[in-house]
Amino acid sequence: MIKNSKIAFFLIALFIAGGEAYAQNPIKVVQVSGLVVSGDSLYGVPGVAVYIPKSGRGTITNYVGYFSLPALLGDSILINSVGYKLRRYIVPDTLRSDKMSLIIELMADTVLMPAVEIFPWPTEQLFKEAFLSLKLPVQDMNNMNQNLNEQVLKRMLYTSSASGAENHRYYMQKQMQVTDTRYNIVSPSLVFTNPFAWSRFITDIKKKRFKSTLQESEEDDDE
């Protein structure tokens, strides 16, 4: 009976001491938020795995590279993504606030693969022999000479239609010409087959002659 009471007293004392220790050093949860960026452009990297191995919690960054997850003081956070080097961040034990923000920069993990040369022949000597003994098809040579014929090239030049860029350039030039003529930015050229243009031309000449005659008569009267 006395032995059981001693055990019970010891358990109660241990429980009280543990409660006091917990009260002095409580487990603190910190909300860790951050932005994961790439080292070459400083743009957010989406789909990056942010993982805490100790607690088994994790998340991934959104389309702008942002993440947020709860962690404990002293937790180690792993940041990993395909094509980048693994990053590790440890939550400080001396953190007083329950929130913290991070900007984590990932560096590209470049792997240089050795060059591989593939040849259809096992040795260079066999390749030279096969190349020297190569005979081009006669029909292909005839087709090439026929397509490069001067008469064929001239016929293609005169019969081929304008490309899209040429049609667009021609249309824009005509549009600018109509606009300039409409607002008298540039005086329109005289069209020899246009009777209205000839009428305006003759009328302008008569007006100029009448003005010159009138000026001469006024000068004579003054004298």
For domain 27-106, which architecture applies? Sandwich (2.60)
Q: What is the pLDDT of residue 155?
A: 84
Q: What is the pLDDT of residue 136?
A: 73
Percent of the chain whose predicted confidence (pLDDT) is above 70: 73
CB 87 within 8 A of CB 106: yes
CB 66 within 8 A of CB 52: no
Pair of tokens at residue 218:
């006024």
CB 108 within 8 A of CB 39: yes
Pair of tokens at residue 91:
């939550």
Distance CA 13, CA 99 (A): 35
Q: Mean pLDDT in the chain? A: 77
Q: What is the pLDDT of residue 35?
A: 93
pTM of the entire predicted model: 0.42
Q: What does residue 211 show for φ and ψ, rounded to 5 degrees?
A: -65, -40
**Domains of the chain by residue range:** 27-106, 140-197
**Which whole-number Å values give the CA distances from 198 to 180, 189, 207, 211, in the listed order?**
21, 12, 14, 20
Q: What is the pLDDT of residue 62?
A: 92
Pair of tokens at residue 98:
């329950």
Distance CA 14, CA 167 (A): 94
Q: What is the pLDDT of residue 146?
A: 82
Q: What is the mean pLDDT of each run of 10 residues along the chain (223 residues)?
A: 51 51 61 88 88 91 92 92 91 87 89 82 86 80 82 82 84 78 54 68 71 56 54
